Structure 1
Amino acid sequence: MVLEKSFKGKAKWLMYLNHFIVGWDDNIWWFALGLFLVEITPQNLQFTASYGLVSGIAVLLFGTVVGDWVDRTSRLTVARVSVLVQNSALIVCCIILYLVMEFKAFIASLAPNEGLLKTCYAFIIIIAILSNLTNMARKTAIERDWIVEICGQDRDMLANLSATMRRISLVTMVICPIVTGQILSRTSHSTGALVVAGWNFFTIFLEYFLLWKIYQEVPQLRREKVREERHTTNTIDLMQGVDVVMEFQDIEKQDKSLGSSDKKVDDNNDSDDVNKMAPSSKREIEKRQKYTFITSLCASFITLRRGWIIFKNYNVCFAGLSLASLYLTVLGFHSITIGFAYTQGLSEDLIGGLLAAAACTGIIGTFIYPRVRKKCGLERTGLYALAAEVASLTLCVVSIFCPGSPFDPLYYSRKGNDDIVLPTTESYQTSSIALLNDSMLSSKINVTTDDGTTAMVTDRSLPVVSSYVSISLLMSGIIGARIGLWMADLTITQLFLESVDVTERGIVAGVQNAINQLMDMLKYAIVLLLPVPEVFGYLVIISYSFICLGWILFAVYVKKTRGYVFPCFKPPQTS
């Protein structure tokens, strides 16, 4: 009761306020970055897809390393570093984007073959990926560790806290695209980049202060991370010769345990203390130094392998694979689906409204989740949530065969790749407009006309479609599926929070993020192979298949955990 009352006070609202600001930052950047990338390369999808692929590879290789660093570092240090590095990286990235958008022609002329411009593109991708990795570290620390320590053993409190934080994220997902869209439409994309940079500069100090206050308000966050005995032996065996530090202490306690009784100790005294240690203590220090050297030499591969071994030895790994399967889908509101919706005649305002509606249905899911979990349990909640998502997305599969659908199963057999052109409009006559141009939410775009000249087109008309039945069913299915999606996400997240040891939360979360990014990366690769609206139906079918696979994998987890999937198949108990 004391723990719950203390959290219901000042710390709870500080946590919610911090999560709102972080969600605002993330959603502004998510919405604006897609438009910025379109603005600087309006010819095709290559730059956007390249960013998605490289980002996925980076998280796949280094996501586990980031999670392992979170495990090995004091909580306050992780919060400090992640806030400072992420926001600083976004500021630098926005400044480079501003320079490229404002002075693109001049930068391209400074070096042969547009060398400097391509270098700027590379820096944009690298810095954005650095921001993503540090943001992942912060989310792992706060959402996989801090809230668990705050809630203690109260699972109901953990479920309500997780649902509320997810609800806050979805609220920002509703508001941010509207606000950001207004800024970009009333000014320009280059000005918008400066606005995003200025906002991130301001929030550095605010986020830093809020996390520090939460850390001070909650004593549980300042205690040691100690591995439970039930995992110690098993984990060492799984390491296969790579030693692991069994205890992680905060900075304050490290100073107390490593310092001598005298407050003023010089380097010579430190050496004497080491020499006086028992042989076992010396070997322990040597092992830790050896581990640090090996990790720094090839950290990503060693930690990724070690993290996967730890991850797969938890029963909840099948639930994690289920969640990862939901990432290989175009049936969500991102640049790919938004671009396709635009080619089907939906306006920017209408697409923004549909995105807000999807976020609202997701919020409904966060309200439903705690009640269903309390009544049915986590496992059945996950089964019902994924089944609801599959049922809703069935409309998307039906949509590709309805009036107005551009789906042509034999498209590539009828036309060679060199003959493929995208639909055009009367006011938008071009000979080389790719799908990315149709996915732009900006009202300005560079167009190459038939005579080879380049012009800036504004207020362009929407493509003409014969019927809106297909796109209406597609959008309805996507919006309705958000209820089940977010309920499933919250369910699987809580399963990890309850099952994973305190000293392995970071590395397990890193493996999960890496698998998620692998599936997301595969999605971008498939889109590059099937980039035109006439074959978008294949993307829908592939996406739907992986959502169904996610339900099957979660059912496997339930079967391994409970021995049965549904109560009607429960084996009879023997007396």
Structure 2
Amino acid sequence: MWEFSVGLYMISVWPDSLLLAAIYGAIESASVALFGPIVGQLVDRLPYVKVLRIWLVTQNLSFIVAGVSVVALILSSTLKSTNFTAFILLVILTNISGAVGVISTLAGTILVEREWVVVISEGHPPELLTKMNSIVRRIDLTCKLLVPVLTGFIISFVSLKASAMTLALWTTLTVWVEYWLFLSVYKGIPALGDSNQRRFTRSLPISDPEVSVSTSQERESLISHDGDKATATQSGWRRKTICWVTNGPFVGAWRVYLRQEVVLPGSALALLFFTVLR
């Protein structure tokens, strides 16, 4: 609902230009590209229930804040000319809230569609995973088809302000239902609890004496190595910066992606979307 409505909200705030809507879309896409790998790592490390709580709280809270800021922008139609600083701050708040919302939505997608569905289908024929994926995708597409109709009715027969307020109110009420439904699925399927326990066990530190000895030796060698590099701090600082950037999660994720077979089809599909700029 928010993804469909935000363009209309931004256009109504600045009717003479599509700049605000374009900036919002660019910030959302850039947030996913930069912070998506970090979100994936956090989902892989944290327990299921904790990811579920963080996802629902941050997503719905960001949409509530964005809805309130958009309502403020729509109600104060002359804010751009009377108080341009406040106008820019509300626009920035809307963009930041939207970016946080899309990142948290990505965490939920990874948790449910990439993790839970796979765990639930373990030990069953491969057809079950295919069927579950198709059902999840069908639910997703059905929502994307019905939401524009519902939002369009509210905007056409009531007002744009009512649509934004409905979004904020709907988000506030449904977060509790969402959490109850997901928690019921987690508690009702023992395989999810077992998988969560295996993840937690895998993340625990190893207390093997041989490993501890080797770790201490490596630490001592690193300390001595750092001492040797103390004479060349400037070059060492540059080297560390380059290593930090190249080994960062966002760069590493792109490296993994570039080695996949879907690179060319994915790039072709991405370039196809540029035709909307014509």
Give the alignment's TM-score, normalised by structure 1.
0.40
Q: How does 1:70-219 map to 2 (within 5 A)?
A: 70-106=43-79, 108-110=81-83, 114-153=84-123, 154-219=125-190
Contact 1:65–1:299, Cα closer than 8 Å, also in 2: no
> For residues 202 and 75 of structure 1, do their structure 2 counterparts lie closer, same or farther at Cα, with a shift above 3 Å needed?
same
Deviations 1:395-440 (A, max 9, x none): xxxxxxxxxxxxxxxxxxxxxxxxxxxxxxxxxxxxxxxxxxxxxx
2:209 paired with 1:278: yes
| Separation in 2, partners of 1:179, 1:215 | 31
1:328 is displaced (CA, Å) by 3.4
SS of the counterpart of 1:48? helix
From 309, 329, 332, the counterpart of 2:272: 329
1:312 is displaced (CA, Å) by 4.5
Q: Tell me which residue corresponds to 2:229.
A: none
Deviations 1:58-113 (A, max 9, x none): 21111111112111222222111111100110000000000010013247523xxx
> For residues 183 and 301 of structure 1, do their structure 2 counterparts lie closer, same or farther at Cα, with a shift above 3 Å needed?
farther
Contact 1:96–1:120, Cα closer than 8 Å, also in 2: yes
Q: Tell me which residue corresponds to 2:11.
A: 38
Contact 2:154–2:163, Cα closer than 8 Å, also in 1: yes
| Separation in 2, partners of 1:86, 1:71 | 19
Larger Rg: 1
> For residues 286 and 162 of structure 1, do their structure 2 counterparts lie closer, same or farther at Cα, with a shift above 3 Å needed?
farther
Q: How does 1:546-561 map to 2 (within 5 A)?
A: none
> For residues 299 and 208 of structure 1, do their structure 2 counterparts lie closer, same or farther at Cα, with a shift above 3 Å needed?
farther
1:156 is displaced (CA, Å) by 0.4
SS of the counterpart of 1:223? helix
Deviations 1:34-63 (A, max 9, x none): 211111111112111112222222211111
1:123 is displaced (CA, Å) by 1.3
Q: How does 1:516-527 map to 2 (within 5 A)?
A: 523=274, 527=277
1:223 is displaced (CA, Å) by 2.4
Equivalent AA in structure 1 for residue 190 of structure 2:
P
| Separation in 1, partners of 2:29, 2:246 | 14
Q: Tell me which residue corresponds to 1:307.
A: 253
1:284 is displaced (CA, Å) by 5.9
| Separation in 1, partners of 2:103, 2:135 | 24
Contact 1:85–1:134, Cα closer than 8 Å, also in 2: yes
Contact 2:43–2:51, Cα closer than 8 Å, also in 1: yes
1:301 is displaced (CA, Å) by 6.3
Contact 2:245–2:251, Cα closer than 8 Å, also in 1: no
Q: Tell me which residue corresponds to 2:235.
A: none
Contact 2:79–2:86, Cα closer than 8 Å, also in 1: no
From 235, 244, 248, the counterpart of 2:199: 248
Q: Tell me which residue corresponds to 1:49.
A: 22
| Separation in 2, partners of 1:134, 1:197 | 17
Contact 1:61–1:300, Cα closer than 8 Å, also in 2: no
Contact 2:62–2:97, Cα closer than 8 Å, also in 1: yes
| Separation in 2, partners of 1:182, 1:281 | 65
Equivalent AA in structure 1 for residue 173 of structure 2:
F
| Separation in 2, partners of 1:103, 1:118 | 13
Deviations 1:137-160 (A, max 9, x none): 110111111101101152101111
Q: How does 1:347-362 map to 2 (within 5 A)?
A: none
| Separation in 2, partners of 1:193, 1:38 | 13
1:174 is displaced (CA, Å) by 2.2
Q: How does 1:358-377 map to 2 (within 5 A)?
A: none
1:224 is displaced (CA, Å) by 4.1
> For residues 107 and 308 of structure 1, do their structure 2 counterparts lie closer, same or farther at Cα, with a shift above 3 Å needed?
closer
CA RMSD of superposed structures (Å): 3.2
| Separation in 2, partners of 1:196, 1:284 | 53
1:162 is displaced (CA, Å) by 0.9
SS of the counterpart of 2:92? helix
Q: How does 1:456-467 map to 2 (within 5 A)?
A: none
| Separation in 2, partners of 1:51, 1:214 | 34
Give the alignment's TM-score, normalised by structure 2.
0.80
| Separation in 2, partners of 1:301, 1:116 | 39
> For residues 189 and 216 of structure 1, do their structure 2 counterparts lie closer, same or farther at Cα, with a shift above 3 Å needed?
same
Q: Tell me which residue corresponds to 2:225.
A: none
2:4 paired with 1:61: no
1:308 is displaced (CA, Å) by 3.2
| Separation in 2, partners of 1:301, 1:130 | 24
| Separation in 1, partners of 2:43, 2:61 | 20
1:324 is displaced (CA, Å) by 4.8
Contact 1:223–1:249, Cα closer than 8 Å, also in 2: no
> For residues 282 and 132 of structure 1, do their structure 2 counterparts lie closer, same or farther at Cα, with a shift above 3 Å needed?
farther
Equivalent AA in structure 2 for residue 280 of structure 1:
V
Equivalent AA in structure 2 for residue 98 of structure 1:
V
1:225 is displaced (CA, Å) by 6.7
Equivalent AA in structure 1 for residue 126 of structure 2:
R
> For residues 70 and 160 of structure 1, do their structure 2 counterparts lie closer, same or farther at Cα, with a shift above 3 Å needed?
same
Deviations 1:343-393 (A, max 9, x none): xxxxxxxxxxxxxxxxxxxxxxxxxxxxxxxxxxxxxxxxxxxxxxxxxxx
| Separation in 2, partners of 1:187, 1:120 | 24
| Separation in 1, partners of 2:9, 2:159 | 10
**As a proportion of its length, which structure holds more helix?**
2
Equivalent AA in structure 2 for residue 194 of structure 1:
M
